Amino acid sequence: MALHGSIQAAPNGAQGFDCDSTISLNAARQFAEQGYLFCLRYLSRGVGQAAGDLSAAEARHILAAGLGLMAVQHVPAAGWSPSAALGQSYGNNAANNANAVGFPPGVNIWCDLEGVNQTTPAQEVIDYCAAWFAAVSAAGYVPGLYVGDSVVLSGRQLYDLPFAHYWQSASEVPALPSRGYQMIQTLVQGLVNGIGIDLDTAQTDGEGGQALWLIAATA
């Protein structure tokens, strides 16, 4: 069942969060009451959503609380080796799982790039990202790239990827020439509303780009 709402560009300075825990309707309402405007939850790398990752029911709860919603796909454990074939496989699964949750076209679906084996040639990382982008884009979603630690690529190489949406992790990461990042992640100590989260602050990047989330239509 499709999620009902509209695609909205993230206002400059909007604060949200990402987490790897299921968010109940009550928790989503608590976050909204505390001034959070959006959240990001996970898509599985495999075929079909795994237990604990975003479900259609959870997505509806998040939207019903008034939060914007985007999704990011899990990344393999540190030391993994990207390739074009892997990018196509993970990208197809990200798109199919996003569709199964009910996301409409036009929303940002994020690729988590971090923990890459440091012996991996840069071209293989580039090929992975390009293949993931192509698969997600072909499904009508707008691919974004989360830039974590140990990505192998330089800021220029990241910028030259086909992505137009970049999310800066709380790790030390390369600066992106001209564009910069549309979301900035900050680590949060302890639990918030009983959930472990990272804080994310949206901003308009240097080329006028903004993150794109799904939000419930208001009466």
Q: What pLDDT, in 10s, does the model give residues 155-167?
A: 999 999 999 999 9
Does 218 have pLDDT greater than 90? no
pLDDT of residue 194: 94
Mean pLDDT on 69-89 = 97
pLDDT surpassing 60 at residue 219: no
CA distances from 114 to 35, 79, 151, 163, 211 (A): 29, 9, 5, 16, 20
Q: Quickly state the pLDDT bin for 217 (edges 50, 70, 90).
A: confident
pLDDT recorded at residue 138: 98
pLDDT band at 20 (very low <50, low <70, confident <90, very high): very high
Among candidate residues 195, 143, 200, the one with its CA nearest the CA of residue 169: 200
- The pLDDT score that the predictor gives to residue 73 is 98
Mean pLDDT of the chain: 96
* pLDDT over threshold 80, residue 87: yes
Per-residue pLDDT of 116-138, as tens digits, reads 999 999 999 999 999 999 999 99
Which fold, 6-215? Answer: TIM Barrel (3.20.20)
pLDDT confidence of residue 48: 92
Q: Can you tell me the distance from the alpha carbon of 173 to that of 163, in angstroms, rounded to the nearest whole number?
A: 17
Tokens of 79: 């030391």
pLDDT digits (tens, 9 = 90+) for 29-73: 999 999 999 999 999 999 999 999 999 999 999 999 999 999 999
Q: Which residues contact 86 (CB under 8 A, 6 or more apart)?
A: 128, 131
Sign of the alpha-carbon torsion through 80, 122, 90, 103: positive
Summarised one tens digit per residue, pLDDT across range 90-110 is 999 999 999 999 999 999 999
